[in-house]
Amino acid sequence: MRHLKYDQLRVEVASTDEELGEAAAADLASIIREELSKKSEIAIIMALGASQATFFKAIMARTDIEWSKITVLHVDTYMGVAEERPESGASRMRVNLLDHVKPKAFYPMRGDHEPVEEELARYTKLYNELDPVLCVMGIGNSGHLAFNDPPADFDTKDIIRVVILDEATRKQIDSRGYFKTFDDVPHYGLSLTMHALLKPSRALVLVHEPEKGNIVKKILEGPITFMCPATILRNAPHAIVYTNETIAEKLEPAAG
């Protein structure tokens, strides 16, 4: 692994996606062990996306994570889509990871609940009571974290909001084949806010898809702005970004 730093942000560069996933999984396990040495149970926030494929594989290969003591929260969901539907993030999270590691509990957002205000209140209460110690997430094509598309709100202290999914995000969702057509991709989502994502004491951010090279360059080398939401990570000394050499090739030589 190569170690870089951009402002306060630590960036780990792996030679392969497998190395990236294993490094992030090792750090996850280390953080969990540290937190469980201080309390009997913890909560963590987990995202599901293409960036997490090798990471999830590496997690499932480990035997040193006490999942029975871990409650999992989710970063976002599609508005109007029930968690039982196969295209929902909750269903895919279960199939790709949670059914295998069997955490103490998993609390996904209920994207189909009406009125939505009740779901915002429920999830805010859950988040505040569980007080997650770690957040794992990816970076979207628009530079978003969770569904915080530009212009992201850097100042809110809300935990969860209804958000509009911009065209870049909907195209990214469509490219994954979760919905039959682009028109079927929802226009709204529920998302943890930037505040809620970065409030835990540690944050692990994975991004390795080659098509995200330009946005990662913008995040690490451009101005910090709500028009590129993930740039806020450069003000987060408790965060680590994991990427690969394919993406790092686009970066200017940086401080190690």
Domain ranges across the chain: 2-216+225-248
- Rounded distance between C-alpha atoms, residue 39 and residue 217, angstroms: 38
Which residues does residue 202 pair with via DSSP β-bridges, in sequence order? 134
Residue 172 pLDDT:
87
Tokens of 87: 């295209």
Provide the strand spans (E) within 64-187.
70-74, 76-78, 105-107, 134-138, 160-164
Look-up of token digits 């944050």: 203
Q: What is the full per-residue pLDDT of the chain (256 aa) written as tens digits? A: 999 999 999 999 999 999 999 999 999 999 999 999 999 999 999 998 767 889 999 999 999 999 999 999 999 999 999 999 988 989 999 999 999 999 999 999 999 999 999 999 999 999 999 999 999 999 999 999 999 999 999 999 999 999 999 998 999 889 888 899 999 999 999 999 999 999 999 999 999 999 999 999 999 999 999 999 999 999 999 999 999 999 999 998 765 5
Residue 59 pLDDT:
97
Topology given in CATH for the domain delimited by 2-216+225-248:
Rossmann fold (3.40.50)
- Rounded distance between C-alpha atoms, residue 153 and residue 229, angstroms: 8
- Rounded distance between C-alpha atoms, residue 90 and residue 118, angstroms: 19
**Element (H or E) spanning 188, and its range?**
strand 188-192
Q: Which of 106, 97, 92, 54 is nearest to 178 (CA)?
A: 92
Residue 49 pLDDT:
74
pTM of the model: 0.94
What angle, 0 to 180 degrees and rounded to 10, lies between the N-to-C axes of helices 53-61 and 17-36?
50
β-bridge pairing 239-244 and 202-206? parallel
Residue 178 pLDDT:
85
